[in-house]
Amino acid sequence: MILGSGLAGLRVLALLAAPVEIQEPHDAPPTLALAWSAADLCPSRADVIARIRAQGVDATLGEWVPDHHDQAALAVEIAIEAGPELWRAELVLVDVDGRVQRSFAARDCEALADAVALIVAVTLDPVAVSRIHEASVEPSPNPSPVPTREPEPEPPLLGELAEPFGPREIDEPDELGINLDSRDDESVWPANLRVGVSIAGGAGYGPTRTGYAQTGGRLALFGRLWRAELGGRWAIPRRITQAGVVGSFDAWQIEARACWVPSAGPVELPLCPGVEVGRVRGRGLAPTPNPTRSEFWWVAPTLSQGLSWAPVERFAIGPELALVVPLTRASFVVGSSEVDRFALLGVRASLVLELRLP
């Protein structure tokens, strides 16, 4: 859901908090245990606590102990991450009534921090919060005349607004742009997880000691700063003549890579260590006497550096340079003549086109 701003959003945000009842003022301040995880651009944990107290809640801070909050009236765990377009918050509240988990989003981290502070304050002490907001609304000394119209229904009290957590079906966002559609359903695809399908073509030196044209494709699973890829590659057959012997060589490889992907706007710089396994094949051609075939296993760690540009959200294109260090050694021999052997070091240059979903 996307959070709006303004005092009118108080009634809507109260829906997100755990169920509460109108209560008498506390004899002693309630204890709050709060764990806060967010990027450097977001408000700090101390700022969030200050915003909670600004709602009129006098809470005592307790020690945060994961999975054990018996000594606090309310334990809150908050994690905020930046997405491609929106900031997303994951909020977990634990009190005597049990555990409630919610997620919501906004266009900046400040709005999320304000929303989190309000939800926590309402859960701890709804009476104090309602008094603060009632006091902040002062009637105008010279009210402007307004046209006579039918009286609108009185808004429900805060206690009437609160309701148990559960699925909510809201077809349209309200006038503040707030969409309360819950994203806790496990069947919904994670917001920051995407799939990429790519094809690549280029040339390189290796697997044997000559140049090859190469082509292939990959399937990737990726987030904002990482990628995991599985793909395949084929070195197109190359004809080689050595000492009157003619042979044709090609190779196929299956590769797996894990990438760190720093980015600046639509430009990404994936750095990908990986490993590839495959077969290198050679066969004799006429006029070689008694031509035969040979195949050898190929195992090599790789290190790739790419430059990817995504002009639109679902498409990216860019070059990639890879360094290949084979761990296996093999030679292709006809009689007493060596026709070719594995290169000690290989390099590849490719152009990659990728379709990204969803």
Given a cut of 80, is residue 191 above it in pLDDT?
no
- The confidence score (pLDDT) of residue 20 equals 44
| Cα–Cα distances in angstroms (integers) from residue 209 to residues 125, 238, 246, 328, in the given order | 75, 11, 15, 14
Instruction: Give the pLDDT score at 325.
Output: 96
Helices (H), the chain: 9-14, 45-54, 109-124, 126-136, 158-161
Helices (H) and strands (E) in the chain, counts: 5, 18
Domains of the chain: 9-161 (3.40.50), 194-357 (2.40.160.20)
Helix (H, G, I), strand (E, B) or coil at 238: strand
Cα separation, 99 vs 80, whole angstroms: 19
Give backbone dihedrals phi and psi of 56, rounded to 5 degrees, phi first: 95, 10
Residue 343: the pLDDT is: 93
Please state the rounded mean pLDDT for residues 348-357: 96
> Dihedral through CA 342, CA 346, CA 350, CA 354, nearest 10?
90
CA-based nearest residue to 120, from 92, 98, 96? 92
- Of 54-63, 74-83, 290-299, the one with minimum mean pLDDT is 54-63
Q: What is the pLDDT of residue 287?
A: 80
Query: What does 50-65 look like in DSSP terms, one character per residue?
Result: HHHHHTT---EE----
Where is pLDDT greater, at 321 or 36? 321
Residue 145 has pLDDT above 60, yes or no: no
Q: How confident is the model at residue 196 (pLDDT cuts 50, 70, 90)?
A: very high
Structure pTM? Answer: 0.48
Whether residue 178 has pLDDT greater than 60: no
The larger pLDDT score, comparing residue 10 to residue 86, is at 86
Strand order in the sheet with 74-82: 60-61, 31-37, 74-82, 87-95, 98-106
- What's residue 10's pLDDT? 44
| pLDDT higher than 50, residue 18 | no
